[in-house]
Amino acid sequence: MQRNKFLEMDKIKFELSTRVLKPILIYFEKKYNRQELMDFVRSTSMNLSYLEDEKNWIAYDYYNLFLEELVEYTGNPNATYEAGAYALSKEAYGYLYSLLIILKFFGSPGLTYKRIFELGSSFSNVGRFNVISMKKNKIIVELKFFPGYSQTKLNCLAVKGQLANVPVFWNLPRAKIKETQCAAHGAESCIYEFSWMPRPFKNVLFAIFSTCFMIFEVIFYFFQPSPVLDLKTIIISGLSIAVVYFLNRVYQSRKILKENEKLHTERSLELEMALTTFKKEYEKLHEANQQITDKANKLSIINMIAVEITKATEEDILLQKFLDIIMGSMDFDRGIVLFLNSEYRIYKPTLVKLKSSFDLSGPVIVDDLPECRSFFSGILEPDHPFLLTHHMYILGDKPVERIIIPIRVQGILNYLVSFDNHITAKPLKEANIDFFHTVSRQMAIALDNIFTSQAAHTILANIPSSIVIFDRKSLKISFVNKSYIKSFYINPEDVLGNNILDVIMAKEHYRDKFANQINEVMVTNFLDNQELQTSDNRTVGYTLFKMPKEFGREEDIGIVMKDITEQKEMQDQLVRAEKMAALGTLVSGIAHEVNNPLYGVLGTAEIIHDEAKEEEIRNFASDIIDFTTQAADIVKDLSSYARSMKEEKETEIDINEAIEAALRIVSYSPKFIDIKIKKDMGPIPKIVALGGEIRQIYMNLVNNAVHAMGGRGALTIRSRKNENFIETEVEDTGSGISEEIISKIFDPFFTTKTTGEGTGLGLNIVYRLVTKYSGLISVESQEGRGTRFIIKFPVS
């Protein structure tokens, strides 16, 4: 039934015997399995049993389709070629195979080819093989297709595959195929040239020998006297054949052994080559590993230096550590550091590190030799380390190769570092130069930092002001500079960690004020011109300042202090002198004023002395009473002034009254000749102050005004309350103050008065007294027109 189904004309043409498919079917079955083969054949709309029957025929087209399907199924374009290996296999010949084995003793690959080509015509009606030439190990054959048929690539491969495998039957390698022309590529026919290895001679000899033996046996058998085939003869013949067979087997085994040996030799050669390659690879890896180790080593050196840099605060220690690290990690006999100043002179003992020890004396270097100087100064930028190969006697004892590393700090060549192998004389590696460049830059930065911080530290320590840093809450001191220790005669150990007020021995009542000042400085950042008294009665002037935010120590307060006891005493003396000078002026004024009434008293008394009339005498006596009262008033003013000088207790002071008193006292001055006084004084609140000091402010200002007006002009006094301030003004119509000197008028000892007229402290005292009461003073002046002082006191 099935069979009918596949008996289609296009597939079953009498074109090719199913024999040609045999190797392919075996190939497929071996590669996969029988079930798959059946399925595959079925997919080509054919029946496997049909194809396996060698008596059947198929169409050439079907054959080609089958090959295409095979390639697609296996995914192997060479599948048809590979299938050829089964052309002469046991499976292909079945029971006939053993016959083939026997035959192969008598045949040869060449004969087999010839036979195949002859048989070809009985398998195929599409083309024919024609042997062109035949040599011992070579056969050239032409495959010519009949009209209407043409060669396909896959068929070509299949043919080649089957034919190439012929010598394999003789345990020879596959035949080499040369396709001189191909019909699949447009040629008229395919021409193949098969060549194969010759069969080993011994094998052939053995075949001849055994054949001869067989013939001899047959002759012997037929021509011996007894024609009866006796058992003995048969056994001998059989044994002979068996011996021949086993001898052949022995020979074959030997051959295989030899082949194996050959194979082994080849394998060992291959292994040797692989080993060589492996060795080379290993060497490369080893080299790479060494490079990495070297780099890691250098990195660790850089890292070690970096660690030292963060710790180092002194150049000597850092450079010593640097030598230590390099000598410990790299192979040098000696490391040297030369310290150079800006004139290329060695100003410090040369640092020398040998394998085991430091030596500060170092080699003798004669730096005042011109060669040496020119060598040093010749090391120009960029600061690249270099290999010094020529003999430099100035750098040491004997000619030796060195790596010289210049290190420049702030543009000046400060150090020359040298490494050498003066004992072992091992050559130095050029490759290390770049590494030393990195290291030298690192060192230069570190040394620069040390210099900068040392400079800052030195400046801070030696600045002629005492600087102390303390915590704003605990008041504990965290830093003091040298100047503080020196000027306050303090033991440094008693200072750090202690309360600043205890350390400076501030008077007890002062503590609250100090706490307020610290709060103030947290807002204002800065508090200037402060004073405190110590328990041993010294005066300390100080400025408080807050640490800048960037410093990261916002809880810290800095204080700059100065013992101003002597300065203060001197100032007080000067103030007294000024007071004396003022008193002198006053005394002369008082004298003038008192002398007038006294003249009156004297004159009147003279008259009374000569007068007889009682009534006249009474009148004159009344005059005397007037004169003496006038004099007494003046004395009263004077004594009130004198008392105010001694005042020590602050009371509520009316500034208007203080101004009036000051005006009265100054008006006695001889300069007070032709001066009109204008008063514009409003009601103002009282302030808490020493009355004498407030009077002195206005006395000094009025005195200056009178002086500036040369005894003639208008003096205007104003006072009013302006918001939270008491504002007072003293204005004159005097000579004014020139722009050049207006900024100096509050300076102590600055005066325009001639010697003896003033101490130059008047306005300075005014300034100090005004600021003492947290007041503000300003001045407006126009040369030739007059001056106005404006004083503002906060309402207390």
Residues at the contact surface with other proteins, assessed by CB under 8 A:
588, 591-604, 606-607, 623, 627, 670, 672-674, 711-712
Tell me the two tokens of residue 666: 């100054």
**What is the smallest separation between the CB atom of 765 and other proteins, expressed in angstroms?**
24
**What is the smallest separation between the CB atom of 667 and other proteins, expressed in angstroms?**
10
Tell me whether residue 649 is exposed, middle or buried, using C-beta atoms within 10 angstroms of its C-beta: 0 to 12, 13 to 18, 19 or more: exposed
**What is the smallest separation between the CB atom of 671 and other proteins, expressed in angstroms?**
9
Q: Is 182 left (phi over 0), alpha (psi -120 to 50) or beta?
A: beta
Pick 335 or 597: Cβ nearer other proteins: 597
**What is the smallest separation between the CB atom of 602 and other proteins, expressed in angstroms?**
4
d(CA 433, CA 437): 6
| Of the candidates 478, 348, 366, the residue with the CA atom closest to the CA atom of residue 415 | 348
Pick 159 or 581: Cβ nearer other proteins: 581
518, 557 contact by CB (below 8 A): yes
Pick 233 or 596: Cβ nearer other proteins: 596
**What is the smallest separation between the CB atom of 660 and other proteins, expressed in angstroms?**
19
Report the amino acid identity of residue 646.
Answer: K
**What is the smallest separation between the CB atom of 751 and other proteins, expressed in angstroms?**
18
d(CA 628, CA 596): 10
Pick 264 or 618: Cβ nearer other proteins: 618
| Of the candidates 465, 455, 404, the residue with the CA atom closest to the CA atom of residue 433 | 404
User: Whose structure tokens read 């543009």?
Assistant: 411
Pick 497 or 670: Cβ nearer other proteins: 670
| Of the candidates 667, 665, 660, the residue with the CA atom closest to the CA atom of residue 635 | 665
What is the torsion angle, in degrees rounded to the nearest 10, for the CA atoms of residue 125, residue 81, residue 164 and residue 17?
-20
Pick 355 or 592: Cβ nearer other proteins: 592
Pick 515 or 607: Cβ nearer other proteins: 607
Alpha helix (H) residue ranges in 20-143 = 22-31, 34-43, 48-52, 60-74, 79-83, 90-93, 96-106, 109-123
Pick 362 or 600: Cβ nearer other proteins: 600
417, 322 contact by CB (below 8 A): yes
**What is the smallest separation between the CB atom of 564 and other proteins, expressed in angstroms?**
37
710, 673 contact by CB (below 8 A): no
**What is the smallest separation between the CB atom of 631 and other proteins, expressed in angstroms?**
11
Q: Rounded to the nearest 10 degrees, what angle do helices 34-43 and 22-31 cross at? A: 130
**What is the smallest separation between the CB atom of 641 and other proteins, expressed in angstroms?**
18
What is the torsion angle, in degrees rounded to the nearest 10, for the CA atoms of residue 636, residue 638, residue 641 and residue 646?
-90
Pick 127 or 713: Cβ nearer other proteins: 713
C-alpha to C-alpha distances, 611 to 598, 601, 614, 619, 621, nearest whole angstrom:
19, 15, 8, 11, 12
**What is the smallest separation between the CB atom of 591 and other proteins, expressed in angstroms?**
5
Tell me the two tokens of residue 415: 């150090």
Pick 331 or 616: Cβ nearer other proteins: 616
Pick 315 or 623: Cβ nearer other proteins: 623
**What is the smallest separation between the CB atom of 573 and other proteins, expressed in angstroms?**
24
